[in-house]
Amino acid sequence: MSEQRINGQIKVPKVLLVGPNGEQVGIVRVEDALRLAQEADLDLVEVAQGANPPVARLMDYGKFKYEANMKARESRKNQANTVQKEIRMGLKIDKHDYETKRRNVEKFLNGGDKVKVMIRFRGREQSRPEMGIKLLGRMAEDVAELGFVESHPRQDGRTMVMVLGPHKKKAQAMAEARKRRTDAEKAESNSSKQAEAPAEDVAPTGDES
């Protein structure tokens, strides 16, 4: 995936603009989007380059990159004890299926795991990235008590991906519990092997009478 283009690097005539809080602004000329970014002392960041028009979001890019780097560092630090699950959804998912997916996301987050939520666009849906952003945003809001958005929605061809992470204390507690369980299983296995090993013959001591 290519590096995100920001501000003057965005050369398209129009973008689908998303506000700093995830609100839909609409399709605007890139000059107007840059002006809004400047007035708000924010950056214009292209988050879905392949869309038509591309999706751009107003954000503090420096802060975003810093937080992303810190999260990546923390992720590498804990990746040995962290599992990433995947949830796939269609853009036209019905209410029942959505609730099932939401419960699964909550179960994974509650277990201390990260969740990659993926939307697969079909046919002309690829030209409606704002619908994917809206659906992923809804999921993030619905599970906010258990997790946070670690990686904002990004489109790559016909797929849009968002990564949710469990709240830090919960993740650490679950990772530690998982490690203790693994250590206990190893210790139990070693004890069983030692118990099954044949006893060695003991040489007699002293003279026989």
Domain ranges, ordered by start, for the chain: 7-61, 72-169
CA distances (Å), 159 to each of 133, 135, 153, 155, in order? 11, 13, 10, 6
Q: What is the pLDDT of residue 56?
A: 93
Least confident of 53-62, 135-144, 189-198: 189-198
Confidence class for position 196, pLDDT limits 50, 70, 90: low
Give the model confidence (pLDDT) of 42-92 as tens digits.
999 998 888 888 999 999 988 888 888 887 777 676 655 556 899 999 999
CA distances (Å), 123 to each of 91, 138, 144, 183, in order? 11, 23, 31, 49
Q: What is the pLDDT of residue 35?
A: 94
Cβ pair 150, 124 in contact under 8 A: no
Give the model confidence (pLDDT) of 12-44 as tens digits.
999 999 998 888 889 999 999 999 999 999 999
Alpha-carbon radius of gyration of the chain: 26
Give the model confidence (pLDDT) of 158-171 as tens digits.
899 999 999 876 55
Q: What is the pTM of this model?
A: 0.48
Q: Look up the CATH architecture of domain 7-61.
A: Roll (3.10)
The rounded distance, in Å, linking the Cα atoms of 164 and 151 is 7
Mean pLDDT of the chain: 83
Superfamily of structural domain 72-169: Translation initiation factor 3 (IF-3), C-terminal domain (3.30.110.10)
Q: What is the pLDDT of residue 135?
A: 95
Least confident of 42-46, 124-128, 141-145: 124-128
Other residues' Cβ atoms within 10 Å of the Cβ of residue 15: 26
Q: What is the pLDDT of residue 186?
A: 74
Residue 1 pLDDT more than 50?
Answer: no
